[in-house]
Chains A and B, each alone.
Chain A
């Protein structure tokens, strides 16, 4: 058995606009009064990218002005550089933007990622724990900055069974539950509680996804 091997996200494109056109800034949700420089990233894994964008907000004065997953995921993307998500960081100047981008890329390289849940890697799981929420995810989740968040994603059935296990594994409460299908046809949940509780929930979630992947058709006596 070789499961829970990290599948490191591939950053497909990174482009900077040191001085973006005001109309562009407005169209993508930036505030031309504060935002001058944009950093645009595409990646083949959407959820690690959301986490990495949030991570950037903890290390630099950057805002996540845009982040959207693409329909049906990386396997059906519109081009070889599209992946399954595009995210945009905005900053007052190119230096600050670069700090943010570096923090984000570091997080994608070394931290947030999907893991294989079966030998073929055809089932994957994202059992990530954000120890301390940045500005982006705190707004999205409605939780105060600095709270812990279990960010849990898996394919629909695995996600459903595993969420039950996660909720029962520790003192956590649901923040958001995203039933299937999401844009990428997965299902997800955000749970919060103490850091230990979030970690226990994420572990239970990962283990359950692995077990369901191993025996998708449960045997029972009739």
Chain B
């Protein structure tokens, strides 16, 4: 056999036995990359600074390759976890009693069923209906309802404060307020059956709203005039984004009482309620669901 063929056979054997990957390239010392989320002033860029004045969108965060930096992914995961946890939290059965509220429950029997069956979340179970009939005041102007909705966390957080402020504001307007109740596994439309049962002129349900990224503490309120089964969304007025970074509970309570009084005066609610005269008292919200931009807060801190 020829010398060249022998040497090529040996080289072939060596190449085949070696890693199929190209040989490693020499590596330089790696510099520590900068923080991308809420950077310290020293590294803050002008775009991110400008952006912060106008939006809470997570922008100006740079990239590694085409992906996120580690502190971006951790902030994102923390925000996602907060939202998921708010949804997963259940309102404890003893919560109503602890706060001297009449305990009610919808026809829903489990948290999963609550998410999957909005129809059951709009109706009271038999025991609750009986309790409401026997223990609640009837024929009142306003029936206040606190409920879990899609965030029991928010309900248990500033829910009671909002409820009590709302009752106080209504009474200050001289409105008669019904027995405060607290409903588990409740959807917005549950206010129809509750209000109808106690013959309230206005039903007001204050409940945890569907969490956004990093926020699980927002409450919404839905008011309806002449509540009864069969009312639709167009019959209601609502105020959302009630939390310390949006509309504060005390302020929200005032606006909701203004809405309730307007419904009683005009004898209607929803799209046919004339809000024009109330603009000043309602602020920018106008019952239309205005959202103030929220501040984005750092969720992850690791002591170093």
A127 on interface, CB distance cutoff 8 Å: yes
Cross-chain contact B1 with A215 (CB below 8 angstroms): no
B74 on interface, CB distance cutoff 8 Å: no
Cross-chain contact A211 with B4 (CB below 8 angstroms): no
B12 on interface, CB distance cutoff 8 Å: yes
| Top 8 A-B residue pairs of the complex, sorted by shortest distance between their CB atoms | A111-B2, A4-B12, A128-B4, A4-B8, A129-B4, A203-B11, A1-B16, A115-B8
Cross-chain contact A203 with B7 (CB below 8 angstroms): yes
Cross-chain contact A1 with B2 (CB below 8 angstroms): no
- 11 A-B pairs, CB-CB below 8 angstroms? A1-B20, A3-B15, A4-B11, A111-B5, A127-B4, A127-B8, A129-B3, A129-B7, A199-B3, A206-B11, A214-B20
Contacts of A6 in B (CB 8 A): 5, 8
Contacts of A207 in B (CB 8 A): 11, 15
Cross-chain contact B15 with A4 (CB below 8 angstroms): yes
Contacts of A203 in B (CB 8 A): 7, 11
B22 on interface, CB distance cutoff 8 Å: yes
CB distance from B21 to the nearest CB of A (A): 10
CB distance from B63 to the nearest CB of A (A): 14
Cross-chain contact A215 with B22 (CB below 8 angstroms): yes
B22 nearest in chain A by CB position: A215
CB distance from B122 to the nearest CB of A (A): 58
CB distance from A91 to the nearest CB of B (A): 24
A111 nearest in chain B by CB position: B2
CB distance from B20 to the nearest CB of A (A): 6
Contacts of A128 in B (CB 8 A): 4
Contacts of B1 in A (CB 8 A): 110
1/0 per residue, CB under 8 A from A, across B1-29: the answer is: 11111011101100110001011000000
A-B contacts, CB under 8 A, total = 48
Contacts of A127 in B (CB 8 A): 4, 8
Contacts of A2 in B (CB 8 A): 16
Cross-chain contact A111 with B15 (CB below 8 angstroms): no
Total B residues in contact with A, Cβ cutoff 8 Å: 15
Q: Chain A interface mostly helix, strand, loop or mixed?
A: mixed
**Docked complex Cα distance between A111 and B12 (Å):** 16
Cross-chain contact B11 with A111 (CB below 8 angstroms): no
CB distance from A111 to the nearest CB of B (A): 4
**Docked complex Cα distance between A215 and B23 (Å):** 12
Total A residues in contact with B, Cβ cutoff 8 Å: 24
If A111-B2, A202-B7, A203-B7 touch, does A211 touch B22 (CB 8 Å cutoff)? yes
1/0 per residue, CB under 8 A from A, across B74-88: the answer is: 000000000000000
CB distance from A76 to the nearest CB of B (A): 27
Cross-chain contact B5 with A199 (CB below 8 angstroms): no
**Docked complex Cα distance between A184 and B7 (Å):** 26
A210 on interface, CB distance cutoff 8 Å: yes
**Docked complex Cα distance between A214 and B23 (Å):** 12
A189 on interface, CB distance cutoff 8 Å: no
Cross-chain contact A112 with B15 (CB below 8 angstroms): no
Contacts of B11 in A (CB 8 A): 4, 203, 206-207
**Docked complex Cα distance between A5 and B16 (Å):** 12
A128 nearest in chain B by CB position: B4
CB distance from A172 to the nearest CB of B (A): 15
**Docked complex Cα distance between A26 and B3 (Å):** 37
Within 8 A of B (CB), among A62-121: 110-113, 115
**Docked complex Cα distance between A203 and B22 (Å):** 17
Known: A2-B16, A110-B5, A112-B4. 16 other contacts (CB 8 A): A3-B12, A3-B15, A4-B9, A4-B12, A4-B15, A5-B12, A6-B5, A111-B2, A113-B5, A115-B8, A129-B3, A129-B4, A207-B11, A211-B22, A214-B20, A215-B22
CB distance from A103 to the nearest CB of B (A): 13
Within 8 A of A (CB), among B222-265: none
CB distance from B280 to the nearest CB of A (A): 58
**Docked complex Cα distance between A127 and B4 (Å):** 8
CB distance from A9 to the nearest CB of B (A): 13
Contacts of B16 in A (CB 8 A): 1-3
**Docked complex Cα distance between A39 and B106 (Å):** 105
**Docked complex Cα distance between A128 and B20 (Å):** 25
If A1-B20, A199-B7 touch, does A110 touch B12 (CB 8 Å cutoff)? no
**Docked complex Cα distance between A4 and B15 (Å):** 9
Within 8 A of B (CB), among A192-211: 199, 202-203, 206-207, 210-211
A150 nearest in chain B by CB position: B4
CB distance from A189 to the nearest CB of B (A): 16
**Docked complex Cα distance between A117 and B133 (Å):** 89
**Docked complex Cα distance between A2 and B8 (Å):** 13
